Structure 1
């Protein structure tokens, strides 16, 4: 196999894995803490992409400094609204929650069609992200690494590092771990579990909005782009281990590489089928994922 082609596919897989990781982090937190299957999570990514488009249209070349806080805060507020009005009323009813959030995802997709149209809206990357690093000489001669994909990879690494610090070194992280381990005991010890649920769900939505910024830099944003990522994001959560940030990072890398290599050797649809088969086979071996978290709720389910 051509080493330039193989390295290029692996690099593409790394950038895809970065978007998957940012999308899956919120799912890992909300599902790990609240046992909520949020089918509308992909629409947070879509909305983050559209907010990036609006920021670029209104502010010009320096739009990224506006796009990141706008996408994070906008989707976090939408997540807080969704948790308060819908999800909070459906705790302990997973099927109802799944159906309700699926319906909300369809509503958000249709709203995006009404506002932005059914075709994708392009976002031009800033000039400082328009170039690439090219390898000269050796077996990888001619291989290029676009700055915009490198930027997305670095962004995912930074967000992952911040989330790891928050969950392992901060008071918020201590409360999250306590509730994830035993909600009733944490509540008895003074943790406001309802407020924590709202905060974690909003944080996860905001991170998905940040993923939307990275997505907008790589491809046009359309109303169904979130649906294209939500299945793979759930696979990342399941393979990595429910509630595990480290597991989500490792699983996103593995699935990104597998998808990129399979697409390079076969086709997009066949690559998706291969990945699903591999995930099913893996879960037969490790049903709780790569890095399972200790949770009384999961043990009782």
Structure 2
């Protein structure tokens, strides 16, 4: 696989693909954070998580067009507005889905999986009917164009660096919310012992709805980040849902640090192997390695220690 490359060329390739993988890492982190909150904290397998990401992407696309048409002088800051709107719309839809469907299926994982898979098909068809089957893209503000020249052969795209900063900032915010706030203590209390949490006055139904909405809102931010590195189509979310579940399970379902480490490892492995192999072969090899590690450590890389 490495035949024909000198040592200096291989080092440059690894560095170049490593920087290229940072954008993929950012999307994986944001998608996996939302899924880890829903799956890790609530035990709900949300197969429509990718469609929430695409809702955020389409929201960013519409916001970009609105700013270009009506507020061209403020176009440079549209992404921040789009990110907020993507979070709000996706969180609102997530709260409605939890109230209308998911709350009736708690502790029934197979039914939840099938119901959310059906929801994903409904959302895909809705996007196809509203936006059309063709993929769409957004125009980047001028300050996001270009790249930092790291070496003669390696460049770091400004938009990729910006998306990575957003991903790490959201990860820090989620950590502070879950482990340094009163609401986070309520979530962890409900997860650890729901009857006891309800006995001390915690509204577990409200906590469940807010948790599901938060996870979907973070997926919407992931959709905004996704528009920076690729085009958006009705079924684009399906290309990321399997990788996102892989990141969550590999890192440990209830470990935010494990989710970040897992996202970085998988994104870097896929980005590097795609240079030397085909994209499908890179995914297969990554999956085989992850499955092999999970056979030795089924609880994930950084599972939380609990008393037994």
> TM over 0.5, yes or no?
yes
Residue 124, structure 1, aligned to residue 124, structure 2: no
Equivalent of residue 184 in structure 2, options 173, 181, 184: 173
Q: Extract structure 1 runs of 4+ deviating beyond 3 A.
A: none
Corresponding residue of 1:32 = 40
Cα 1:228–1:252 shift into 2, 3 Å: same
Corresponding residue of 2:90 = 75
Equivalent of residue 44 in structure 1, options 48, 52, 65: 52
Equivalent of residue 246 in structure 1, options 257, 262, 270: 257
CA distance in 2, matches of 1:4, 1:118: 39
Q: Could you list the per-position Cα deviations for residues 73-117 of structure 1 after superposition, in whole angstroms to 9, with x for gaps in the alignment?
A: 000001011111010011111111100100110110111111111
How much does 1:187 deviate?
Answer: 2.0
- Within a 5 Å distance, the mapping from 1:261-272 to structure 2 comes to 261-272=272-283
Q: State which drifts further: 9-18 or 195-204.
A: 9-18
How much does 1:182 deviate?
Answer: 2.1
CA distance in 1, matches of 2:115, 2:223: 23
CA distance in 1, matches of 2:98, 2:304: 24
The answer as to whether partners of 1:258 and 1:275 remain within 8 angstroms in 2 is yes
| TM-score, length-scaled by structure 1 | 0.94
Matched residue SS, 1:217: coil
How much does 1:220 deviate?
Answer: 0.8
- Within a 5 Å distance, the mapping from 1:100-179 to structure 2 comes to 100-135=115-150, 140-179=151-190
Corresponding residue of 1:59 = 67
The answer as to whether partners of 2:23 and 2:229 remain within 8 angstroms in 1 is no
| TM-score, length-scaled by structure 2 | 0.92
How much does 1:32 deviate?
Answer: 1.6
Cα 1:59–1:96 shift into 2, 3 Å: same
CA distance in 1, matches of 2:202, 2:294: 34
CA distance in 1, matches of 2:14, 2:103: 46
RMSD: 1.3
Corresponding residue of 2:72 = none
Residue 276, structure 1, aligned to residue 287, structure 2: yes
How much does 1:295 deviate?
Answer: 6.3
How much does 1:13 deviate?
Answer: 1.6
CA distance in 2, matches of 1:130, 1:57: 18
The answer as to whether partners of 1:26 and 1:207 remain within 8 angstroms in 2 is yes
Where structure 2 has 5 or more consecutive residues not aligned to the other structure, the ranges are 1-6, 69-74
CA distance in 1, matches of 2:227, 2:25: 15
